[in-house]
Amino acid sequence: MSSEASATLGDLTMTSCKIMLLGEMGVGKTSIARQLAFGTFAADYSSTVGVDIYTHVVDPPPEGKPFTFLVWDTDGSFGETLFRSVYIRQAQAALMVGDVTRPATIESAARLCEIFTEAMPGRYFAALLNKCDLIEGEDEPPLPALLRADDVPVVRTSAKTGMNVKATFADAARTIVRRGQA
């Protein structure tokens, strides 16, 4: 399967791109994927084993072209070895997820951003600081230096409330289309 695919229906061409959700266990990757795909949140924690795949049609479509993400929700055990895997080599983009209530996971997300840009130069990526609903009114942990750089998109999200979840994927689609990568 190629990293992107197009299907033609009459005059409409639908673009499909693979995007990976990467990060440690328990940061909310599955909750983000389920909020995106189904508009739901489940408070009970169930660890992903291997990879789960979700689809999301971006609305409104970037530049009027129907655009679908194949969202690969990875378990947190892959770590840095994932970058040697065929799973990620075919991805057009990745979102590195950290949990704002666990600063070590934000450091891990920053490290994954760095490795991703080295292993897959030019491909879209962003860091998601998830579970922002849990720290409302509190100070956020300081960001690692890499995530303070101007060229690293950092998005605060809440899979529970849906805050910035769909907007993050819409921005990714627009950027991928604008760069001519889809």
Residues 29-52 have pLDDT tens digits of: 999 999 999 999 988 877 777 788
Question: What would the pLDDT profile of 131-177 be if each residue is shown by its tens digit?
Answer: 999 998 777 788 888 888 888 999 999 999 999 999 999 999 999 99
Question: What would the pLDDT profile of 6-21 be if each residue is shown by its tens digit?
Answer: 454 444 567 889 999 9
Query: CA 141, CA 40: separation in Å to the nearest integer?
Result: 27
What's the topology of domain 4-178? Rossmann fold (3.40.50)
Question: What would the pLDDT profile of 92-118 be if each residue is shown by its tens digit?
Answer: 999 999 999 999 999 999 999 999 998
Phi, psi for residue 181 in degrees, rounded to 5: -95, 5
Query: CA 17, CA 19: separation in Å to the nearest integer?
Result: 6
Query: CA 23, CA 126: separation in Å to the nearest integer?
Result: 12
**pTM of the full predicted structure?**
0.87
Domain map of the chain by residue range? 4-178
